[in-house]
Amino acid sequence: MTDISIPPLDRALEPALRKLIDEKAKPVGSLGRLEDLAVKIGLTRGELKPKLGPAVSVIFAGDHGLTEEGVSSHPPEVTAAMVGNFIGGGAAISAFTRLAGATLTVVDAGVRFPVADGPGLISARIAEGTRNAAREPAMTPAQCEAALAKGIELAREAVADGADILAPGEMGIGNTASASLITHRLAPAPLDDVIGRGAGLDNDGLERKRAALAKAAARSDATAPMDVLAEFGGFEIVMMCGFMLGGAAENRIVVVDGFIACAAALAACRIAPAARERMVFAHRSIEPGARAILDTLEGDPLLDLDMRLGEGSGAALAIPLVRAAAAILTDIADYPR
């Protein structure tokens, strides 16, 4: 398996960080959870006054063989079309990253249909989409390893380029189905409890999705994280998991988006539990699987906006809050007491 070592955070600085925050020009505790986030940032960076550099939003795109089972209300061609929209600057994530002052990069991890080249696109495709997990493993173990390793490599490159905040996202028609299976096995949670409507399934579509995922779950009893990812995952989910692991290993803040990103984060935490300490959960998706993961990982999201878009949109919205928390340590004056 890909070598990734993430030690627990050294918490020796925590008393000093708490003292520093309490001595700022504000009532003690008055900034609530932002103060806890400031402590997390200080511990992650190993500094009392961490100056956070650039933020990057990296969107991983891939297609899923599970769409053959009718698990999505949209055809797989939409994945490639949305990648073009990201690159062209017209997607929600494009707008939100501009507002957050973040850089947007799109990674083709395994899109089935041709993707138009453009600025900010990285081709890292493992294959032209996964196989149908209801009938066979979504990918081979070698493909799973390659996707994870590429994600780790991309995180290390981002950090080498100066990134201090990593806010990954995804695009892939059918990927809520994959995320539900991952959540079912790695949380673990009852399968029916973690299946939602995704991009807007009607009642008949939801029943098709439930039947397809039950068929997939019955096909394999995998529970080890890499086995689960190979059996049920998507190339974009596995690569995003690697990106989160790589960022955590470099002691950078990893901002976790909605359901699909939460599934990648869950897998990352099962592979390297200490990765959880570097994660900030951006928002509470309305997808039931996301709620199950947040409960499992004891995640307390910064935002609760009834969102379910994906794309890393919630993570981009949370970037200014991460910067605000760091500013408590660096920019607010001390108050003589």
CB of 214 within 8 A of CB of 122? no
For residues 112 and 129, give the distance between their C-alpha atoms in angstroms, rounded to a whole number. Answer: 5
- DSSP letters along 114-157, please? -----TTEEE--SSSS---TTTS-SS-HHHHHHHHHHHHHHHHH
311 catalytic, yes or no? yes
For residues 48 and 14, give the distance between their C-alpha atoms in angstroms, rounded to a whole number. Answer: 9
> How many other CB atoms sit within 10 Å of the CB of residue 201?
20
CB of 332 within 8 A of CB of 26? yes
**Residue appearing with tokens 């002691």:** 251
Give the Cα-Cα-Cα angle 287, 292, 294 (nearest 5 degrees): 95
Task: Name the catalytic one among 231, 236, 250, 311.
Answer: 311
By annotation, the residues acting in catalysis are: 311
